[in-house]
Amino acid sequence: MADLDQRIEAMHKRDVQVAWTFVIGLWVAMIFVAVATWDLAPNGGARIMLLIGGAVVLLFNTAAILAMLKHYREDRDFIYGLDIRFLDEANSGRG
């Protein structure tokens, strides 16, 4: 059982790291696009609208990933326990 707990912890930790990598990547990409296209906007009003739109995308995507991580943390044993069971069954069928 301790082995199962360690495997669950390792899978959960890896998923959290990947999720945060995606969040950071999204922020970097959005900031890059905003800077790279700043001069393409026809006027100040358009720039403000684009910044607001980008901020909304960042806010909702970041909130969605945080909610996903919270759900994974709450149901960690069930979610990852199923994954591990099916992975073990698939691997034993190959041998």
Identify the pLDDT of residue 95: 55
93 alpha carbon, distance to own chain's centre: 31
Angle at which helix 76-94 crosses helix 2-36, to 10 degrees, equals 100
Tokens of 72: 């994974």
User: Is the model's pTM score more than 0.85?
Assistant: no
Confidence at residue 33, expressed as pLDDT on a 0 to 100 scale? 94
Per-residue pLDDT averaged across 65-86, rounded?
A: 92
pLDDT one-digit tens code per residue, 4-52 = 899 999 999 999 999 999 999 999 999 999 999 999 999 999 999 999 9
> What are the domain boundaries of the chain?
2-85
